[in-house]
Chain A
Amino acid sequence: MTLDKVQKGQQIQIQKIADSSLRDQIIRLGIYEGAKVICAEKIGGGPVIIKNRMQEIAIGDGLAKKINIEII
């Protein structure tokens, strides 16, 4: 499934990021294929906030749809 379908509190593993520019930018913030993160907040229909330790990132719906994940 894609990141936009995730629910608050779920622990997820990033499977695939289908956009090379997004991939290169987001890896610097700690998000990459294989990374395990938590969905800290989900704003209905809008951005997903994912958390890796203390680091939080808001990802808009358009980008979230390009990220494949698996719930763990």
Chain B
Amino acid sequence: MEHKTKELNKSCHKIEFIPDIPKDAKKIVLVGNPNVGKSVFFQSLTGMYVDVSNFPGTTVDINYGKYNENYVIDTPGVYGVSSFNDEEIVARDVILNADVVINIVDALHMERDLFLTQQIIDMGKPIVIALNMMDEVRKNGIEIDIEKLSELLGVEIIPTIAIKNKGIVELKEAITRARLGNRDESLLDEMEAYRSIISQYSEALLILEDDEEILRRYNITKPVSRERIYRNRREYIDNIINRVTIETNKGISFVTRLSRYMLYPLTGIPILIAVLYLMYQFIGVFVAQTIVDITEGIIMGNFYLNFIKGIFEGFLSSDSILGTILIGEFGLLTMVPIYIIGLLLPLVIGFYFLLSIMEDTGYLPRVATLVDRSLTKIGLNGKAIIPMILGFGCVTMATITTRILGSRRERVIATALLGLTIPCSAQLGVIAGLIAPLGLKYLVLYILTITIVFVLSGTVLNRFLPGKSSSLLIDLPSLRLPKAKNIAQKTFTKAWMFLKEAAPLFMLGSFVITIMQITGLLDGVQNIFAPITEAWLKLPKEAATAFIMGIIRRDFGAAGLTSLALTPMQTIISLIVITLFVPCIAAILVIFKERSWQESIGIWLGSFIIAFLVGGILAQILL
């Protein structure tokens, strides 16, 4: 179900973040750090009535659903209420509008989680705490005096093991008993001073904590007291934790050892290679070949295509202008749905499925840590490995994910490298098919060339782009077995979000291509390419068609080569050119949406030039 959300109106003091929730309904907001099992609570509270809403101005989506007469709203996992990134901004505004907060705390990571808890208490929100993952506490030889903790914080605490459904009933009962906790009294007078000018009392705390957006909203000068307040809160929380926990330390567990193996290069790299190999088997072989053969080849490419043509061909000639636009080679009703549903959907679901598993097990932050050092050499930090891995699934999807990177500079570098060097899974399938019969020597030449281009372009961009890249700072959560229900929900939410964003762009792209085809522009471009193809790349003239097709769909480009009679060396050179060549039409439109037009044109033209330059140099040396 789709919900249109209103633009966040900054001049208006009321934040209408979800228009569907009636004004008089009570808003119960789930808050917690990342990876504390929040979504399990959300599911058990709302059952199946889950809606997803995209938060205005961000890519962060929030789930909400009905619980009795009230509404339960999920928030993205955050370490505190402030505005360091998109997730925090969303969480902050939802929490500000909350009537009751259910705070999920990872019992194993209280020193991290209780900072957020105390911040919500200081905001003056009624709160009840679910102290989750109690089973792991015992396993790690830690004891927590829950009664004492509850007394010190001044709110009710329900011990839970959410994935085993323990404590959920008790938590539901406790919602009505949510109350204000023990607040930092030194802040009360200061907060009171702002009461008359703000619409939500809780905003006063954020003003004191120098939250720039809230300050701007009310046109208040920065009080510069964030550090002092954070510091006091930190000491207060550490003191509480010392009073309520006893560590019996039973030595290093297997999980701790496994975590070390994943981080340490000597063992971490083989583990990573094994994981990537399994991913390749799943995505590149199983999904991209077996599944897509059925979804694209049979269901969409055969049944659907015949069905749609059968409907239209009675009264609309596919040679007419409208016919070409709707049901032609790149038609809005032919190629667009076949591509999106037959090819993209299975790949994107497959990739988000694997990514969700890596996320929920806690493996992803460890991979980021492992590769951090190498990536700093090309102006990125370890986090950039996430869009890079996703790029092997779909470059369009990966380009959207570059938003998680810390600075604009890093987003430009990552986007450029994705567009230039990372072949998406659809293309990878065709490339693998063409290289496999040629033998190891050619495979090595291909991989080596692409890797060199990757490293060189990264190094050059790092050298010449102004500004400074951010450094890695990442929380390493405990390693855990993922829960199927969570994985499924995450996968489908993300896949749906991706399609919602990419499908209109893809429709626009195919429309543009059709217009180019009708007006004869496509042939013109093909002819311009011909001399470059023959003299410089030493390939037959027809190879130009394959490159042009690559603008539309990257696997089309690669597949166009199969029909040509090429020597093995010519095959490799044309595959290298096709790989480095401009990203597909959907990816390039996403790039234009995400980056400034100067950056986007630079990336697009750059990949053009580099593809022909590298291909040509190889051709001149090797052919």
Binding site for B on A (CB under 8 A): 20-30, 32, 41, 43-47, 49, 52-64
Contact = CB atoms under 8 A, between A and B. Distances in A.
7 contacts: A20-B227, A32-B230, A43-B263, A47-B382, A47-B472, A56-B259, A57-B473
Contact of A49 (B116, B226, B369, B471): B369
Contacts of B369: 43, 46-47, 49, 58
A60 B382 contact: yes
A47 B111 contact: no
Q: Which 6 A-B pairs have the closest CB atoms?
A: A46-B373, A60-B472, A62-B471, A60-B471, A58-B369, A56-B476
Contacts of B472: 47, 58-60, 62-63
Contact of B231 (A27, A29, A56, A62): A27
| Residue from B111, B241, B373, B473 with most neighbouring chain A CB atoms (10 Å) | B473
A16 to B, nearest CB: 13
Given A25-B84, A32-B231, A43-B264, A58 B372 contact: yes
B510 interface: no
Nearest to B142: A54
A43 B265 contact: yes
B26 interface: no
A20 B227 CA distance: 8
B264 A28 contact: no
B265 A44 contact: yes
A63 B142 CA distance: 31
B80 A28 contact: yes
B178 interface: no
Contacts of B187: none
Contacts of A24: 82, 84, 226-227, 230
A63 B473 contact: yes
B81 to A, nearest CB: 10
A27 to B, nearest CB: 5
Looking at chain A's contact residues, the main secondary structure is mixed
A58 to B, nearest CB: 4
Contact of A41 (B108, B238, B260): B260
Interface in B255-291: 259-260, 263-265
Contacts of B368: 58
B471 A41 contact: no
B363 interface: no
B227 A23 contact: yes
Contact of B475 (A27, A47, A57, A63): A57
A59 B115 contact: no
B473 to A, nearest CB: 6
A41 B227 contact: no
B237 to A, nearest CB: 9
A22 B230 CA distance: 13
Given A22-B473, A49-B263, A60 B376 contact: yes
A32 B473 contact: no
Contact of B476 (A22, A46, A58, A62): A58
Contacts of B140: 54
A61 B373 contact: yes
Nearest to A65: B471
A55 B109 contact: yes
Contacts of B478: 54
B91 to A, nearest CB: 13
Contacts of B111: 30, 52-53, 55
A6 B492 CA distance: 43
A60 B372 contact: yes
B115 A28 contact: yes
Contacts of A52: 111
A66 to B, nearest CB: 8
Contacts of A45: 373
Given A55-B109, A58-B372, A60-B471, A29 B227 contact: no
A28 B476 CA distance: 14
| Residue from A54, A57, A59, A62 with most neighbouring chain B CB atoms (10 Å) | A54
B112 interface: yes
A13 to B, nearest CB: 14
Given A43-B263, A54-B478, 18 more contacts: A21-B84, A24-B84, A24-B230, A27-B115, A27-B230, A32-B230, A32-B234, A41-B260, A43-B265, A44-B373, A53-B247, A56-B475, A58-B263, A58-B369, A60-B472, A61-B372, A61-B373, A61-B376
A60 B384 CA distance: 13
Given A28-B80, A43-B369, A57 B263 contact: no
B569 to A, nearest CB: 39
Contacts of A28: 79-80, 112, 115-116, 230, 234
Interface string B204-235: 00000000000000000000001100110010
Given A24-B226, A47-B369, A61 B471 contact: yes
Contacts of A60: 372, 376, 381-382, 471-473
Contact of A43 (B109, B142, B227, B373): B373
Contacts of A22: 473
Nearest to A52: B111
| Residue from B112, B238, B265 with most neighbouring chain A CB atoms (10 Å) | B112
Contacts of A41: 260, 263-264
Contacts of A23: 227
B188 interface: no
Contacts of B475: 29, 55-57
